[in-house]
């Protein structure tokens, strides 16, 4: 296991998906894993994730993530990481 290094802008797709999976308490584990798979399919890395810091981002609709509550929770978590209000390093496997 390793920690994502630096800012969200430097995260890989694996790190971005790990971050999303870490939100399972807020989203439910099935939803978090489903969204993580969607992120993988759409190759959402740190820079792309950074653009999803608002529920108004068109990226949510493009990826088919439309549950209002989930979108708001994920966007708030992304915004918190970007501003330093949340831990910056999701734990990811070193695969």
Percent of the chain with pLDDT over 70: 82
Quick check: pTM over 0.75? yes
pLDDT of 91 higher than 50: no
Please give the Cα distance from 62 to 25 (Å, whole number): 25
Q: Is residue 64 very low, low, confident or very high in pLDDT (cuts 50, 70, 90)? A: very high
Q: What does the pLDDT average to over 24-37?
A: 91
Distance between CA 56 and CA 92 in Å, rounded? 28
């Amino acid at each position: 296991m390793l920690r994502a290094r630096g800012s969200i802008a430097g995260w890989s797709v694996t790190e971005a998906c790990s971050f999303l999976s870490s939100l399972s308490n807020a989203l439910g584990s099935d939803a978090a894993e489903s969204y993580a798979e969607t992120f993988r399919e759409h190759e959402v890395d740190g820079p792309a994730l950074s653009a999803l810091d608002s529920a108004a981002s068109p990226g949510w609709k493009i990826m088919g993530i439309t549950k209002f509550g989930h979108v708001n929770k994920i966007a708030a978590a992304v915004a918190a990481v970007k501003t330093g209000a949340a831990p910056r390093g999701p734990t990811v496997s070193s695969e």
